[in-house]
């Protein structure tokens, strides 16, 4: 049986941030996830925004963590080489009724210790964002709302944890947690049993099912679907900020913002559903995005869409972000209600969880040789011609462009496959280097990526999955 | 950095690039260079192993490889230079410079006397037409599937539904059937066939594959691999009739829902693009809004017959060569080709009136199918070219041969009129 | 026996109704030209198709050799021909129009390469 000190269940943003934080200490950690890749669920399909927490419920753990997390991103994205931009958000009031709500929103921000929210006149907002509804009466500017590459964030946290000694057991579903005498004994997975002292449940959508295994499920996860559109980089109507609607009692509403790679993102819907696996988009949902966003940005051209997707936020019933340790179950830590703010607060949650473990007597000592920096894959398309030429001279595979839409070379795909926590599927390659994320959506590079993956992993093409097991890309050979 | 000098630089070694290269050479250009991203010439025709090419040009029914090989052999004979495995990143139309990457030479700069764009087109995707549902494995554009099956020895699925009755969709229906897959149905949004009737007969009817006209896929199901699709008839506004929706089991969905000229490089170079064709605006010399840059084939407008591509590309190659040699016809003015009744677009978009008397072919597509029609080109009230057709289909390019010396006035109108 | 044939000679796509038995055509209606009538006769009595597919290259997994029937084959023989083609392998080099399978299924027609490889 494998032995470790800490098992982290769930390799999403939160699980990987905790793992990376733990890797600063002399402690053995294994991260397990049922998916074949890190960041495979809620962390991959969201709005990719790093929030300030201006609109959180004041005084809650969620508010504390989001507000604490936002300023951490300058340093962490620099250290881990994660694409990140502080572009700021605007909250335009289109109707008089919306305009009258602005002071309350600003006051709430203040109570959340977000002090840099500013009032702007309609004219000022239109100057900042020319595509805005010209009827805008005024609004708020929230300068530290930011955009990030959510895939790279999770991969970077995982990779850095891994180079600092954390093991990742992917494609391993947790089937049981054994306890005895009020203590954690082991975690049973489909890839074997792991004897451990601590278990951290950061299983997101499935955290209630994990909690159930140790009898601590006093809540249920409610999947809240969010559907999105991604628009072509060359769409005619673009915004430079995160354009947020004034929230209603029912929903935070649908936004429009650029992605870190220059596409436009529009959405999301908010639909509670019983299924934790159904990530389908619907005609109704997509239509509702169109209607709502046109109130903010009338000329948004959704016909320029290159993809639509939906993600499931792991909401909690009863609501709210919860961190729990238990007197009658030593070593078990339960995180629940990590919802749409989960990506933002992940890095603060990492610190919070480890601090809580230390306070309650975990005997972790700091490592002397912690490697704090990580360098990402060099993106060919972002280099100057001279650097491009040098790259090809050093590694000729940089001269072989595989994804024409995003200009991704074979060298980048090879690195995605062979780096720590390497890509094993077509989508895992896509999330690492963006091959297939452009306007042709893998029509051109898809067949080549299957070929490269099969070659590099030494398997048949029919063994290559799009994403998780069962998502086989092709069925066999013709001859 | 590697530098190459040439008279005519041609981007793309498919049928358009090959025909342009040959005619540039024949026109007298010394050094003609094709820059091709693949490891061989032929472009998309390499995977089009089916017959149906060359009927107009060679009066023979050739397969894709046979068709392009004739051109590749000729290009080789004439001494056309070829740079394979090279992806063009950008062009500079003022400096007449092409930048490309190549594993062997690194970043490569090509200085040319003129440039021909022959990059072809790409396929419209499931996401472009917003088909809702999940995003499992087993969803391919027809062309990607064709590449996998015909060039990579890979079978994409066992039970297939195809959306779109374009030629590639129907040809893949036959191809998958021949290779042992079950093609459950071909679904077409319009109430008429998008591709050629011949393909319906030989690719669908021969294999007993049902064609569902005026239907669409309303939803894709399956979390890991496709498990099926919902198919519904559409009303006159092309909106699905939900009550008549039916579940169709399958493990693969192929999309053959249109092609889009590939103009990333063209756009970056600031060349004017026509909103209907999504390709560069050209005159009859296939010259774009930047005088040193020419364009031909599917990068200009999507063709149904490669024979037409070859013809149009020869024009581009010829005049690109003349431009490079300083022998380009001097034009007095350029007049627009206006789309008249039941005409969606005309290519070329403009005609340059020069001192040389030329005959030029105008290619155009109709908006809707129509029987017993007359195709007309006129200047004001005066008809300068006309011909009768039994039937005009949006999927089949029409053409008229026009004598430029007969053009009078400031525009030429192309129209399709109903004959009694 | 009556059979409706869609003519593929030109884009008009006439629907031609042919009546006949196994050996001859009695009547045809709905055609608009002589070529259409000829097409309908052939399509009724002995429909033929060009068969195109690929053949495995010995020792290579990825690349395939595209092939065709040198002449159209009887439609009802196509699937039998495919069974043979699927079992066939060729050795490189191959030149365009090299015979890959001679006289396939006794049809008198060869399966030939449509491309040079190697």
Number of domains comprising chain A: 3
Weakest-pLDDT range from A395-409, B80-94, B394-408, C66-80: B394-408
pLDDT value for C1:
87
Q: How far is A274 from chain B (nearest CA, A)?
A: 15
A471 to B225: CB separation less than 8 angstroms, yes or no = yes
As a whole number, mean pLDDT of residues A35-51 equals 94
Chains with ≥3 Cβ pairs under 8 A against B? A, C
The CATH superfamily holding the domain C52-113 is CPE0013-like (3.10.530.10)
- Centroid of chain to Cα B243: 37
Residues A227 and A290 grouped into a single domain: yes
pLDDT value for C96:
96
Q: What does pLDDT average to over chain A?
A: 96
The CATH superfamily holding the domain B1-123+259-328 is FAD/NAD(P)-binding domain (3.50.50.60)
Distance in angstroms (rounded) separating the CA atoms of residues A442 and B329:
43
Q: Which residues of A touch B106 (CB under 8 A)?
A: 388-389, 392-393, 399
Residues A116 and A234 grouped into a single domain: yes
CB atoms within 10 A of CB C112: 20
User: How many beta-carbon contacts under 8 Å exist across B and C?
Assistant: 72
Residues A458 and A310 grouped into a single domain: no
As a whole number, mean pLDDT of residues A91-113 equals 97
Q: Check: CB of residue B345 under 8 Å from CB of residue B277.
A: yes
Q: What sign does the CA torsion over B121, B127, B131, B135 have? A: positive
Q: Which residue, among B92, B103, B250, would best test binding to A if mutated, counting the most A CBs under 10 Å from its CB?
A: B103
pLDDT value for B357:
77
Check whether C55 has a pLDDT greater than 80. Answer: yes
Predicted ipTM > 0.90: yes
Q: Which residues of C touch B49 (CB under 8 A)?
A: 52-54, 66, 68, 114
Considering only the beta carbons, identify the residue of B64, B150, B390 that sits closest to C64: B150
Reported as half-sphere exposure (CB side, CA atoms, 13 A), residue B20 has a value of 38
Search chain B and give the residue with CA nearest C96: B66
Supply the CATH number for residue A265's domain.
3.30.9.10
Q: What does pLDDT average to over chain B?
A: 96
Share of chain A above pLDDT 90, in %: 98
Q: A355-391, pLDDT tens digit by residue? A: 999 999 999 999 999 999 999 999 999 999 999 999 9
Residues A115 and A226 grouped into a single domain: yes
Boundaries of every domain in chain C: 2-45, 52-113
Predicted TM-score (pTM) of the model is: 0.95
pLDDT value for A250:
67
Residues A13 and A28 grouped into a single domain: yes
Q: Which CATH architecture has domain B331-420?
A: Sandwich (2.60)
Q: Check: CB of residue A96 under 8 Å from CB of residue A376.
A: no
C90 touches chain A (CB under 8 A): no
Distance in angstroms (rounded) separating the CA atoms of residues C31 and A111:
83
Choice among A51, A113, A241, A418 that is catalytic: A51
Q: Check: CB of residue B191 under 8 Å from CB of residue B165.
A: no
Residues A310 and A408 grouped into a single domain: no
Tokens standing for B126? Answer: 């499931």
Distance in angstroms (rounded) separating the CA atoms of residues C63 and B153:
7
Query: Nearest to residue A186, comparing CAs of A169, A34, A178?
Result: A178
Boundaries of every domain in chain B: 1-123+259-328, 125-257, 331-420
B63 touches chain C (CB under 8 A): yes
Query: Nearest to residue B129, comparing CAs of B120, B141, B121, B138?
Result: B141
pLDDT value for B81:
98
Chains with ≥3 Cβ pairs under 8 A against C? A, B
Q: Which residues of A touch B1 (CB under 8 A)?
A: 385-386, 389
For residue A13, being part of any structural domain is answered with yes
Q: How far is A101 from chain B (nearest CA, A)?
A: 35
Q: Which residues of C touch B50 (CB under 8 A)?
A: 52
Q: A231-285, pLDDT tens digit by residue? A: 999 999 999 999 999 988 767 789 999 999 999 999 999 999 999 999 999 999 9
A450 to B154: CB separation less than 8 angstroms, yes or no = yes
A263 touches chain B (CB under 8 A): no
Considering only the beta carbons, identify the residue of A283, A443, A462 that sits closest to B123: A443
As a whole number, mean pLDDT of residues A197-224 equals 97
Bridge partners (DSSP) of residue B182 are: B159
Distance in angstroms (rounded) separating the CA atoms of residues A358 and B412:
82
Query: Nearest to residue A410, comparing CAs of A428, A429, A384?
Result: A429
User: How many beta-carbon contacts under 8 Å exist across A and B?
Assistant: 147
A478 to C64: CB separation less than 8 angstroms, yes or no = yes
Check whether A413 has a pLDDT greater than 80. Answer: yes
Domain that holds residue A298: 84-147+222-314
Q: Check: CB of residue B144 under 8 Å from CB of residue B210.
A: no
Q: B253-277, pLDDT tens digit by residue? A: 999 999 999 999 999 999 999 999 9
Tokens standing for B228? Answer: 């099926």
B130 to A440: CB separation less than 8 angstroms, yes or no = no
pLDDT value for C91:
96
B37 to A401: CB separation less than 8 angstroms, yes or no = yes
Supply the CATH number for residue A458's domain.
1.10.10.1100
A479 to C62: CB separation less than 8 angstroms, yes or no = no
pLDDT value for A380:
97
C114 to B63: CB separation less than 8 angstroms, yes or no = yes
Query: Domain B125-257: which topology?
Result: FAD/NAD(P)-binding domain (3.50.50)
Distance in angstroms (rounded) separating the CA atoms of residues A139 and A131:
15
Residues A134 and A233 grouped into a single domain: yes
B281 phi and psi angles, rounded to 5 deg: -75, 130
Considering only the beta carbons, identify the residue of C64, C68, C78 that sits closest to B153: C64
B202 to C49: CB separation less than 8 angstroms, yes or no = yes
As a whole number, mean pLDDT of residues A45-57 equals 95
Q: Is A51 a catalytic residue?
A: yes
Residues A117 and A231 grouped into a single domain: yes
For residue A477, being part of any structural domain is answered with no
Residues A307 and A442 grouped into a single domain: no
Tell me what percent of chain B is helix, strand and coil, each rounded to the nearest 5: 25, 40, 40
Q: Which residues of A touch C55 (CB under 8 A)?
A: 479
Supply the CATH number for residue A167's domain.
3.50.50.60
Distance in angstroms (rounded) separating the CA atoms of residues A460 and A449:
13
Q: Do domains B1-123+259-328 and B125-257 have the same CATH topology?
A: yes
pLDDT value for B126:
97
Tokens standing for B336? Answer: 């627009």
Pairing relation of β-strands B106-117 and B228-233? unpaired
């Amino acid at each position: 049986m494998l032995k470790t000190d800490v098992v982290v269940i769930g390799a999403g943003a939160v699980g990987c941030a905790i793992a990376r934080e733990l890797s600063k200490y002399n402690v053995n950690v294994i991260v397990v996830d049922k998916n074949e890749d890190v960041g495979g669920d809620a962390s991959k399909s969201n709005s990719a925004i790093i929030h300030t927490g201006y609109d959180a419920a004041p005084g809650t753990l969620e508010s504390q963590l989001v507000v604490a997390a936002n300023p951490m991103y300058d340093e962490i994205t620099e250290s881990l080489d994660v694409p990140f931009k502080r572009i700021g958000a605007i909250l335009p009031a289109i109707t008089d009724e919306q305009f009258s709500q602005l002071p309350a929103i600003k006051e709430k921000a203040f109570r959340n210790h977000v002090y840099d929210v500013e009032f702007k006149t309609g004219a000022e907002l239109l100057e900042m964002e020319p595509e805005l509804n010209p009827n805008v009466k005024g609004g708020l500017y929230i300068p530290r709302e930011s955009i990030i590459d959510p895939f790279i964030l999770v991969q970077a946290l995982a990779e850095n944890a891994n180079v600092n000694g954390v093991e990742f057991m992917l494609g391993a579903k947790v089937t049981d947690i054994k306890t005895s005498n009020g203590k954690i004994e082991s975690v049973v997975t489909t890839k074997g049993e792991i004897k451990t002292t601590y278990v951290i449940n950061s299983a997101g959508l499935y955290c209630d099912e994990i909690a159930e295994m140790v009898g601590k499920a006093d809540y249920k996860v409610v999947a809240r679907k969010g559907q999105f559109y991604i628009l072509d980089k060359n769409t005619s109507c673009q915004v430079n900020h995160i354009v947020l609607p004034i929230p209603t009692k029912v929903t935070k509403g649908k936004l429009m913002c650029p992605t870190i790679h220059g596409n436009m993102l529009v959405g999301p819907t908010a639909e509670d559903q019983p299924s934790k696996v159904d990530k389908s988009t619907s005609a109704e949902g997509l239509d509702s995005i169109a209607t709502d966003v046109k109130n903010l940005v009338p000329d948004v051209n959704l016909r320029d869409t290159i993809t639509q997707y939906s993600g499931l936020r792991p909401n909690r019933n009863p609501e709210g972000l919860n961190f729990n340790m238990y007197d009658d179950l030593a070593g078990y830590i339960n995180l629940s209600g990590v919802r749409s703010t989960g990506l933002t607060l992940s890095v603060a949650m990492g610190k919070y969880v480890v601090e809580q473990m230390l306070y309650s007597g975990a005997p972790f000592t700091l490592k002397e040789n912690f490697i704090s920096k990580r360098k990402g894959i060099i993106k060919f398309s972002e280099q100057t011609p001279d650097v491009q030429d040098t790259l090809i001279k050093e590694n000729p595979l940089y001269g072989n462009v595989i994804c024409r839409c995003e200009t991704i070379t074979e060298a980048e795909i090879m690195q995605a496959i062979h780096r720590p926590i390497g890509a094993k599927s077509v989508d895992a390659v896509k999330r690492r280097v963006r091959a297939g994320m452009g306007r042709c959506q893998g029509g051109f590079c898809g067949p080549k990526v299957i070929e490269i993956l099969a070659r590099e992993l030494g398997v048949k093409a029919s063994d290559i999955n799009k994403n998780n097991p069962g998502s086989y890309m092709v069925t066999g050979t013709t001859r | 950095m590697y530098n190459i000098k040439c008279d005519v630089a041609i981007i793309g070694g498919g049928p358009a690039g090959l025909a342009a290269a040959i005619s540039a050479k024949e026109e007298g250009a010394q050094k003609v260079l094709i820059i091709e991203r693949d490891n061989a010439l032929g472009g998309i025709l390499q995977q089009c192993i089916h017959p149906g090419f060359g009927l107009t040009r060679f009066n023979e029914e050739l397969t894709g490889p046979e068709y392009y090989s004739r051109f590749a052999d000729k290009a080789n004979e004439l001494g056309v230079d070829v740079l394979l495995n090279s992806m063009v990143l950008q062009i500079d139309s003022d400096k007449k410079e092409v930048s490309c990457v190549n594993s062997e030479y690194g970043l490569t700069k090509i200085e040319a006397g003129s440039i021909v764009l022959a990059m072809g087109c790409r396929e419209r995707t499931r996401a472009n037409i917003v088909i809702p549902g999940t995003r499992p494995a087993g969803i391919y554009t027809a062309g990607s599937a064709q590449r996998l099956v015909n060039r990579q020895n890979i079978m994409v699925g066992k039970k297939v539904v195809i959306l779109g009755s374009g030629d590639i969709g129907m040809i893949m229906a036959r191809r998958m059937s021949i290779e042992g897959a079950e093609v459950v149905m071909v679904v077409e949004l319009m109430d008429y066939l998008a591709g050629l009737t011949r393909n319906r007969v030989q690719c669908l009817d021969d294999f007993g594959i049902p064609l569902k006209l005026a239907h669409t896929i309303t939803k894709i199901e399956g979390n890991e691999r496709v498990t099926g699709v919902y198919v519904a008839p559409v009303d006159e506004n092309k909106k699905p009739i939900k009550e008549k929706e039916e579940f169709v089991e399958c493990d693969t969905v192929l999309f053959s829902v249109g092609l889009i000229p590939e103009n990333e490089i063209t756009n970056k170079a600031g060349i004017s693009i026509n909103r209907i064709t999504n390709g560069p605006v050209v005159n009859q010399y296939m010259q774009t809004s930047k005088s040193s840059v020419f364009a031909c084939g599917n990068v200009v407008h999507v063709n149904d017959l490669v024979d037409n591509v070859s013809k149009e590309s020869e024009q581009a190659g010829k005049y690109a060569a003349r431009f490079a040699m300083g022998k380009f016809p001097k034009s007095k003015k350029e007049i627009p080709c206006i789309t008249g009744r039941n005409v969606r677009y005309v290519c070329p978009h403009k005609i340059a009136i020069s001192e040389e008397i030329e005959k030029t072919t105008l290619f155009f597509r109709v908006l809707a199918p129509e029987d017993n029609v007359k195709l007309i080109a006129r200047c004001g009230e005066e008809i300068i070219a006309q011909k009768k057709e039994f039937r005009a289909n949006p999927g089949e390019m029409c053409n008229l041969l026009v004598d430029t010396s007969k053009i009078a006035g400031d525009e030429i109108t192309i129209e399709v009129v109903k004959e009694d | 026996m009556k059979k409706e044939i869609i003519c593929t000679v030109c884009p008009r796509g006439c629907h031609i109704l042919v009546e006949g038995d196994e050996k001859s055509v009695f009547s045809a209606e709905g055609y608009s030209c002589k070529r259409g009538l000829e097409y309908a006769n052939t399509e009724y009595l002995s429909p033929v198709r060009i068969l195109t597919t690929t053949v495995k290259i010995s020792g290579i997994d990825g690349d395939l050799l595209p092939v065709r029937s040198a002449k159209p084959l009887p439609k009802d023989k196509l699937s039998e021909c495919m069974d043979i083609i699927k079992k066939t392998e060729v050795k490189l080099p191959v030149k365009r129009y090299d015979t890959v399978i001679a006289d396939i299924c006794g049809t008198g027609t060869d399966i030939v390469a449509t491309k040079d490889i190697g």
